[in-house]
Structure 1
Amino acid sequence: MTTVSLRRSIGHLTFDHVLVRPETHRPAPATVLVFHGMEGRSDAQLAIAERLTGWGCQAIAVDLFGEAVSAGGAQRCADEMTAFLGDRGALAERLSAVLTALTEVPEVDADAVAAIGFCFGGLCVLDLARAGHPLRAVTSFHGLLTPPDWSVDGVIPARVAVHHGWDDPLAPPHDVVALGAELTARGADWQLHAYGGAMHAFMAPFAAQPERGIQYHPVVAERAWRSLGDFLREALPTD
C-alpha cells in the first residue's frame, strides 16, 4: 500500500490528513474517511485505514484537531475534544470544513465517500449524517450518541450503522433509544448493533480501564469489523 500526506490549511490551522491506498495504478473506486477519538490523528487510525484497503477502497486518516493540538500531547487533545463537545456548532463547522477539503482532493471521488469513527469520532460521523452531508454511509463504533444543539430538517442521505457496547457508560440505553427515534424521524436508512458484555472502546486494543467502563473486547471487535465490511460493500461502488 501507499501513504500520501494530504496536509491542508483551514484558516490559520494546518491539518495532517493521510491517504492510504492500495498499490495499484488504477484509482480506488471509493474512499473511507477514518475519524479519530480523543487521541487525535494517530497510528491507530492508520492501522484501520490499512485494513480498509484490503477491501479494495482507499482510506484517509482524518486529522480533526490540527497539527498544533496533536503536537501538544494527550492533555491538549483531550481539552480540544472537550471544547468541541461543549460547542457542537463549532464542531459542525470544523467537520464541514474538513470534509470539503478532503472531497476536493483529486484522488477522491466525492460521490463515493463513506466515513467511520471511533469514540469521539463516532459522534463526529453521526453529526456529519445529521447535517445532511452527501456521504454514502457512516459507521459509528462505541461513539457518543447524544444529539447536537442544532437541528436540520429533511431525510438523512447517508446510510447509518451504529456499533454499540451495551455496557458503555458513556452511551446509556436511553441514549440508544433516543438515537433510534431521531434517525427514524429523519427517514434514515439505519441499523444498530448492540453487543452484550462490551464496554466503551471495545475496538481499541489499548483500552484497559474496566473500572471506568472502558475495555477492549477482541471477539466483539471482530464481529463489528466483519459487519462493517458487509455494510460498506452494500453502500460503496467496487471494481
Structure 2
Amino acid sequence: MAIISNTVGYMDGDVLLEAFFAFDDSFTGRRPAVLINHSWVGRDDFVGEKAKKLAALGYVGFAVDVYGKGILGADAEENAKLMQPFMDDRQMLAKRVQAALYAVKLLPWVDDSKVAAIGFCFGGLCSLDLARTGADLKGVVSFHGLLGAPANTQNNVIKAKVLALHGHDDPMVPIEQVLAFEQEMTRSGVDWQLHAFGNTMHAFTNPVANNPDFGMVYQPDADKRSWLMMENFLTEIFA
C-alpha cells in the first residue's frame, strides 16, 4: 500500500483555491471520494491527515479549501475574520463548496457517482450546506459542526443521507439549534441521524483543543467513536 498525495488548484469565479488530496495507488479503478471541509482555521494539516486516513480506507480524500490558496488563520481573531464573511453570506459559501465538488469529480481516480462530504466545526456547516443545495451526494457527516440552516435552501430536495456528530455540551450549538436542525431534516424527508456525546464540548476531535472557557476541548473517546461511526456510514452509503 502506498498513499499518494498532492495538491490541486481549482477556481470559484476568480478566486484560486488549492485542495490537498490523497489516494492509495494499490487500489485499481475509480473509487468513491470524500470531501473534507476544514475548521475556521483554513485548509491545514489536520484535514490533510484526514485525507490520508480516508485514502487508507480505499477512498479519495479531498481536503477542501474554502478561503483561498495559502490562506490560514494564525489565531482565533484571524480565524473569525476569515470565517465570518461566509457565515454572513451562506449563498457564497454554498457556491464555494460546490466548486470543490465539481473539482473532485474531475480527478481520474474518482467514481463521480459516489461522493460524500465530511467536515469539522465550520466544515461541518460547509458539508451540511452543500447537502442543503440539493447537490448530488451520497451522504454528509458533520463533526461538532454548526447546525443552523441558511435562509435560502428551505425548498431544496436534500439527496444526501446526513450524519451529525455532536458534543452535548457544545456551547456553540445550543439545544434550540439542535432541535431546529432535527425538525429541518425531518421536514425535508431526509435519512438523518444525530449522535450526541455526553460530557463533550466543541472541537472534540482536535487533539490540540484545550480551552474549556471557550468551550473547545479534545475528547479522545468521542473522537474515536465518531470516526468509527463515520466509517460505518461511508460503508453503507457507498455500498
Q: Same fold (TM over 0.5)?
A: yes
Aligned Cα RMSD in Å? Answer: 1.6
Partner-residue secondary structure (3-state), 1:63: coil
In 1: Cα distance, 2:177 partner to 2:74 partner? 31
Question: Counterpart in 2 of 1:175?
Answer: 177
Question: Counterpart in 2 of 1:83?
Answer: 85
- Given residue 197 of structure 2, which amino acid in structure 1 is its aligned partner? Y
Contact preservation (8 Å) 2:132, 2:156: no
- For 1:104-115, what aligned pairs fall within 5 Å after superposition? 104-115=106-117
1:25 shift after superposition:
5.4
Partner-residue secondary structure (3-state), 2:31: coil
1:52-97, CA deviations, whole angstroms, 9 ceiling, x for partnerless residues? Answer: 1232112111111111533x74554431211111111211221222
1:51 shift after superposition:
1.3
Question: Counterpart in 2 of 1:8?
Answer: 10
1:109 shift after superposition:
1.9
Task: Work out which of the residue numbers 203, 206, 211 in structure 2 matches 1:204.
Answer: 206
Question: Counterpart in 2 of 1:40?
Answer: 42
Contact preservation (8 Å) 2:132, 2:157: no
- Given residue 136 of structure 2, which amino acid in structure 1 is its aligned partner? P
Task: Work out which of the residue numbers 66, 69, 73 in structure 1 matches 2:68.
Answer: 66
- Given residue 99 of structure 1, which amino acid in structure 2 is its aligned partner? L
1:105-159, CA deviations, whole angstroms, 9 ceiling, x for partnerless residues? Answer: 3332221101000000000101111111010010000000111021242531100
Question: Counterpart in 1 of 2:230?
Answer: 228
Contact preservation (8 Å) 1:40, 1:65: yes
- How many residues are aligned here? 236
TM-score normalized with structure 1 length: 0.93
Structure 2 segments unaligned to the other structure (5+ residues): none
Task: Work out which of the residue numbers 132, 140, 143 in structure 1 matches 2:142.
Answer: 140
TM-score normalized with structure 2 length: 0.93
In 2: Cα distance, 1:49 partner to 1:68 partner? 18
Change (3 A) 1:56 1:102: closer
In 1: Cα distance, 2:183 partner to 2:134 partner? 17
In 1: Cα distance, 2:74 partner to 2:209 partner? 18
In 2: Cα distance, 1:211 partner to 1:158 partner? 35
In 2: Cα distance, 1:95 partner to 1:54 partner? 24
Contact preservation (8 Å) 1:28, 1:57: no
1:170 shift after superposition:
0.5
Change (3 A) 1:76 1:67: farther
- Given residue 218 of structure 1, which amino acid in structure 2 is its aligned partner? P
Contact preservation (8 Å) 2:31, 2:109: no
Task: Work out which of the residue numbers 158, 164, 168 in structure 1 matches 2:160.
Answer: 158
- Given residue 14 of structure 1, which amino acid in structure 2 is its aligned partner? L
Structure 1 segments unaligned to the other structure (5+ residues): none
1:186-205, CA deviations, whole angstroms, 9 ceiling, x for partnerless residues? Answer: 11000010011000000111
In 2: Cα distance, 1:122 partner to 1:139 partner? 7
Partner-residue secondary structure (3-state), 2:163: strand
Partner-residue secondary structure (3-state), 2:159: coil
Partner-residue secondary structure (3-state), 1:153: coil
Partner-residue secondary structure (3-state), 1:204: coil
1:19 shift after superposition:
1.3
Identity rate, percent: 39
